[in-house]
């Protein structure tokens, strides 16, 4: 949201509350003083917001330090479970994990960021990939590129204006021209690849989930580069993900 889109009665108090929440998420058990320094705000102001969040059950205080409570988990899971896409894809994500032995997942684009909304672990899966609820920039992961490739150039440009094109590894795509070139390949082959663009040694394959030509999300698998290579990376795993995507799209198009 740009400054021009903010309501006229925009509350700096509300903004500070969310700044406190985000700082708590990034820091390890900070004190009031540490939070105040991080946010460049008066310690008394930060303390008041912490006390209010604690009363509402969203913050836990332990021996002078603070952390977010599991109430955020409760709210987050409630939001997730209300997503219609979750009920449509979870069983297919489970099957994909069993078939490939890798970490499988479904993701969705919201407010310009990619969120992993479903996941499953195959017998060889590594925990680091596709964590439920993880938030990622779309340009450096297969889940994001698969979706962006099926949006208009204008929409993608607006998303990148917000999230940027930061370099995570030597293989990260950091220019719009290169990214749009890759989108053309993604549309032609039907899937996107992550060749270690966000994590060194990590790779992924993803397909968009389309309805009437518009992306509802993406589905894919992730794993270490030593298993995601050669024909398995460019053919076998993409075929498995494409098959899973087709099942979901058929279910979405079936009459209710």
Please give the CATH superfamily to which domain 83-253 belongs.
Answer: GAF domain (3.30.450.40)
Q: Of 3.40.50.300, 3.40.1190.20, 1.10.10.10, 1.10.645.10, which CATH number belongs to 3-69?
A: 1.10.10.10
Of 175, 225, 233, 227, nearest to 199 by C-alpha is 225
Within its chain, how far is the Cα of 195 from the centroid?
17
DSSP-derived pairing of the beta strands 214-224 and 192-195: unpaired
What is the C-alpha to C-alpha distance for residues 58 and 60, in angstroms, rounded to an integer? 7
pLDDT at res. 10: 57
Half-sphere exposure of 192 (CA within 13 A, CB side): 30
pLDDT at res. 87: 84
Domain boundaries, the chain: 3-69, 83-253
Instruction: State which residues of the chain have pLDDT below 50.
Output: 1
Write the pLDDT tens digit of every residue in 158-195.
999 999 999 999 999 999 999 999 999 999 999 999 99
| Residue 222: strand pairing partners | 103, 204
Same fold: 3-69 with 83-253: no
Q: What is the pTM of this model?
A: 0.86
């Amino acid at each position: 949201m740009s400054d021009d889109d903010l309501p006229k009665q925009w509350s700096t108090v509300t903004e500070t509350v969310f700044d406190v929440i985000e700082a708590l998420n990034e820091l390890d058990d900070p004190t009031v003083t540490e939070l105040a320094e991080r946010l460049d705000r008066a310690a008394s102001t930060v303390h008041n917001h912490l006390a209010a969040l604690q009363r509402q059950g969203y913050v836990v205080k332990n021996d002078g330090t603070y952390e977010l409570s599991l109430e955020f988990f409760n709210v987050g899971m409630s939001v997730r479970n209300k997503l219609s896409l979750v009920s449509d894809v979870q069983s297919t994500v489970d099957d994909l994990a069993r078939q490939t032995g890798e970490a499988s997942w479904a993701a969705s684009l919201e407010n310009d960021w990619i969120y992993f909304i479903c996941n499953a672990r195959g017998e060889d899966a590594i925990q680091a990939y596709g964590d439920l609820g993880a938030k990622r920039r779309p340009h450096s992961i297969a889940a994001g590129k698969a979706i962006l490739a099926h949006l208009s150039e204008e929409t993608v440009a607006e998303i990148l204006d917000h999230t940027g094109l930061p370099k995570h590894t030597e293989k990260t795509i950091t220019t719009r021209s290169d990214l749009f070139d890759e989108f053309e390949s993604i549309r032609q082959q039907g899937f996107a690849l992550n060749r270690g663009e966000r994590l060194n040694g990590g790779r992924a394959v993803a397909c968009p989930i389309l309805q009437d030509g518009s992306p509802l999300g993406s589905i894919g698998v992730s794993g270490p580069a030593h298993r995601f290579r050669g024909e398995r990376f460019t053919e076998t795993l993409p075929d498995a993900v494409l098959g899973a995507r087709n099942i979901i799209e058929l279910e979405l198009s079936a009459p209710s």
